[in-house]
Structure 1
């Protein structure tokens, strides 16, 4: 047993202890928890290493180090250890993202070595709901995207990603990884859209899923149809699927400067329970 404060790369035998940490905050930790539930702690299957911080011999904090660097339940001492390990390894991630306080601390220690970032989004409200809105009728035309509709949904997904992140998901590998992720969401019945005459009017996906919660992502309305309330009725429809079929709590996080989206989510019944931060490279 580890008896001092130390950090290490977790191994498959550490799975139960890691899950216990992740379950301390199932909403904030949903993205990583969903991966660990499927892949365990094997780096090849997980898509990255899981770093653990032990205090007094007990695992208390985590940091997922893959395409994203994600501190989880991370104390200041743990953040210092994670920053030191990340600094020595060099930047391999495309973003740092996670609960705002720990992420800000981590970035402050890495910025002198990894900076500058392409963009820092310091406050992204984390929102949840457990119930369908009482006064918004779900859009009856929002449905699961079929597997034979990949050619229809992909342009909308690319447009959403580019608008949201500021770079195209088709860069680098030509979009192979991004297309594979979209195909996975479609094949598992977690991609939803309103499609009219072969054109996506509204779309959203249920990304991370655990037995505690699910995370809605990729919410997008065709610019030509914005301002008509489709984001609200569309989200109400997605919530119907999410809360009925997937998990008892639905969550999402949104940029604080996106006032229309925040207002729409509040009208659908989401309330703020915390904040994320994202550092984009």
Structure 2
């Protein structure tokens, strides 16, 4: 029978979900996409799922959308995925996932342009119990009326984290829609105060802490987009803010709360450890 690679569809839904369940924290993004769409049908999702089979059994998968994300990818599957990706125009902005398979995949994409940056060691952290510290009561779900200030903070976070502006290509319309979608789904959290250092306009309401539930399934969530206003850093806002987000996520969405962080961000790592997050692995992100 041997091995094969093909685009997955509705009939593969149960098999892909079982694959994601092997590691629900690592695979939360793909699991969440399938749960949200109701199936692995590519017409229902903003991306494609490709499956690698051994003797007709699905053993690995690859999400190909705005990001490329391997699921349970072994070396032979990585080689097949790399050959497939190399034969098509690049559509993603990054490769992301467990460090070893992501770096292996990136090394085999010789036809793609050189990455802009490789973040090879991003601690993957998990909280599977109540936070160790008290939550900040001022951190609540963002509301529709908060869109402008949440969007401004999200742009600042993106520029600081990724290194370029998310509003440069289309005036920010796509990114604004993403921020608005997170708010409408109740997955954007923030502490908002009045007039923080006159930014971006004196007298305006401003975000001093924010975080998003960027991916979620019935088993796990992944917190993304964590940001503290530059003028308020050092005031111990991040840890109680993260405790508030984690409590809400565990109470209302899933028991496992995860995140991944750049290894050089020692301040963030310390804050997450205060909350009770523990490292369980390492992610890598390859940026194009």
TM category (shorter chain) comes to over 0.9
Report the secondary structure of 1:172's partner residue.
Answer: coil
2:260 to 231, 253, 276: 253
Work out whether 1:167 is the aligned partner of 2:157: no
Residues 126, 279 of structure 2: 8 Å contact kept: yes
1:41 match: 40
With 150-159 and 163-172 compared, the bigger mean Cα shift is at 163-172
Q: Any residues of structure 2 matched to 1:220-235 within 5 Å, and which?
A: 220-235=227-242
**Alpha-carbon distance between aligned partners in 2 of 1:68 and 1:176, rounded to the nearest angstrom:** 19
Give the gaps of 5 or more residues in structure 2: 195-204
Equivalent residue, structure 1, for 2:70: 71
Structure with the larger helix share = 1
Q: 1:44 to 1:115 in 2, by over 3 A?
A: same
How far did residue 44 of structure 1 move? 3.2
Alignment pair present for 1:210 and 2:210 = no
Q: How does 1:1-281 map to 2 (within 5 A)?
A: 3-39=1-37, 40-110=39-109, 112-134=110-132, 136-197=133-194, 198-281=205-288
Q: Structure 1: how far apart are the matches of 2:215 and 2:269?
A: 20
Root mean square deviation of aligned Cα: 1.1
Q: State the Cα distance separating 1:239 from its structure 2 match.
A: 1.3
Would you say how many aligned residue pairs link Structure 1 and Structure 2? Answer: 277
**How far did residue 42 of structure 1 move?**
2.5
Q: What CA distance in whole angstroms lies between the structure 2 residues aligned with 1:185 and 1:266? A: 26
For the residues of structure 1 that align with 2:186 and 2:261, how far apart are their CA atoms?
23
Query: Contact 2:98–2:282 (CA<8 Å) still a contact in 1?
Result: yes
Deviations 1:56-97 (A, max 9, x none): 210000000111111110010000000000000121111111
For 2:250 and 2:218, the matched residues in 1 are separated by: 11
> How many Å separate the matches in 2 of 1:218 and 1:70?
18
Deviations 1:125-172 (A, max 9, x none): 1100112233x2211111111112101211001000111111111122
SS at match of 1:89: coil
Tell me the TM-score normalized by structure 1.
Answer: 0.96
SS in 2 for 1:171: coil
1:2-23 deviation line (CA, Å, top 9, x unaligned): x320111111111111111111
C-alpha separation in 2, matches of 1:24 and 1:142:
33
Partner Cα distance (1:277, 1:133) in 2? 26
Give the match's secondary structure for 1:117: coil
TM-score (norm 2): 0.94
